[in-house]
Structure 1
């Protein structure tokens, strides 16, 4: 049972110390919503009773609580599962019991990364990493336990509220004459400010339940993103050299292709996030 379109909600946001919450919480409040922003110290999503108590009194739940350490998840999959899957299930069950909607943030890692065209929202999940498996399980749990839900997948996030690739490139630009960046992984760099705006617009539109992709439009590689950061700062992009994923082997495999389609947003009449370069320019100029 969802609140009426355009009406102010009482919103519970979990994972409130994370990078996306840094921009989403003020965006929700600016839109007139009353927000309870809780982090793990306030609400442990792996505790079902805490989830029931936390959801009580709210009209909408936005679950940003997650185990996001992709490489560590390979050796700590049970722990990642307890947060990304069991925690999501606990919140979804509590939301369903309270008769409210839940927004579950997910990831491009639920796909195998082998596609050659943008992944549609309905594309079969086939995660290649522990992190991806646990997030896919969380998606399934939310949709099964609280059908009046939104799963919003995002990718290549950066923002002012936490460590990220763009911040790292800015730091390395001042420390090294040259750096090597992977050029064989394709994706959509997405600003947390832009994703927060999309989520606020989806809430205002009372979008139909289902799976959506919250990424910027267009695509590039990590190498292309690094060069764009350098260009914006007035630095020579040639200082960024291309390399391969094999040269930077990590515990968790990275999807080679993480470009996501915005088909369900368009069907719902909601404009996707704009071009990734525009979002990056706003972020770096802010």
Structure 2
């Protein structure tokens, strides 16, 4: 890496993680965000042109097809963006010696485990979304020269729609809510994830990482914590996944072990409840 300012190219710049990353630039890091109209990752020629123009030290590929339920009926589109789009960026990154960090998901696992998944556990995605994101990982692993794959889960933050904002909105409209109590995972605050990603891509510690706020909860416990931390008197009722059917299957258990963060000497993300407290403070300001 050359001395002086580092240039990072961020795809999906109008998504909730992309918008967070863009404001994390500072005097040492120049962050260039591309929305889909500026960089259509499904277009290999455009990927090559943009990377050739920007000449980034690293690319954080946060752009994705993320409509989990819609993907079940739009599988071609999900694979085109999540798999082929990642391949195209990998080829463009290779040409310029840029590092490529691909943001993946806990949905690459089937959710049948009873202890946290580590980075080397076998994947077995059950939804089209999970399969298309896994296909992107596989293409990057076979084609990429200098890559990071970062799987994350239950993402929320200041930008875009997410579970925390939905719960706060519901609290202003009614006095009770039913939330599933049989899906376990780890919430992830975009600010904490973004800080980790920027640290990560400045190293050569390539490989697969699991990155979420630490600790685990159910969606029901997450909702309860949101209301408690916001001092909202909202009644939260537990329900089962069966009572709340969705087109795409969700992993029942997608807690991830952060062994790569530990093994490579990075600082782990703070506990999920502390991340939530920081986010609610940010919303108030």
Q: Aligned with 1:229: secondary structure?
A: helix
SS state at 1:30 partner = coil
Across the aligned residues of Structure 1 and Structure 2, the Cα RMSD in angstroms comes to 1.2
Partner of 2:239: 243
Native 8 Å contact 2:175 2:233 kept in 1: no
Partner deviation per Cα, 1:172-205 (whole Å, 9 max, x = no partner): 011111110000000101100110011122134x
Helix, strand or coil: the match of 1:82?
helix
Correspondence 1:64-143 to 2 at 5 A? 64-143=62-141
Q: Following superposition, which runs of at least 4 residues in structure 1 exceed 6 angstroms of deviation?
A: none
Shift of 1:262: 0.5
For structure 1, which runs of at least 5 residues remain unmatched after alignment? none
Aligned partner of 2:47 in structure 1 is: 51
Q: CA deviation at 1:235?
A: 2.2
Distance in 2 (CA, whole Å) between partners of 1:227 and 1:210 is 35
Query: Aligned pair count?
Result: 280
Give a deviation string over 1:147-166, Cα, whole Å, max 9, x none. 31000010000001110000
CA distance, structure 2, for counterparts of residue 128 and residue 62 of structure 1: 26
Secondary structure, aligned partner of 2:178: strand
Aligned with residue 254 of structure 2, among 258, 283, 286? 258
- Cα distance in 2 for partners of 1:71, 1:10 equals 35
Q: Does 1:40 align with 2:2?
A: no
Q: Is the 8 A contact 1:147 1:209 kept in 2?
A: no
Asked if 2 retains the 8 angstrom alpha-carbon contact of 1:187 and 1:219, the reply is yes
CA distance in 1, matches of 2:221, 2:90: 38
Which of 24, 30, 33 pairs up with 2:26? 30
Residue in 2 that maps onto 1:223: 220
Normalising by structure 1, report the TM-score. Answer: 0.95
- By how many angstroms is 1:236 displaced? 3.3
Counterpart pick for 2:9 among 7, 12, 16:
12
Please, which of 190, 193, 199 is the counterpart of residue 192 of structure 1? 190
**Contact 1:13–1:37 (CA<8 Å) still a contact in 2?**
yes
SS in 1 for 2:173: coil
Following the alignment from structure 2 to structure 1, what is the Cα–Cα distance between the partners of residues 21 and 256?
21
Partners of 2:31 and 2:158 lie apart in 1 by 20
Q: Relative to 1, partners in 2 of residues 1:140 and 1:31: Cα closer, same or farther, differing over 3 Å?
A: farther
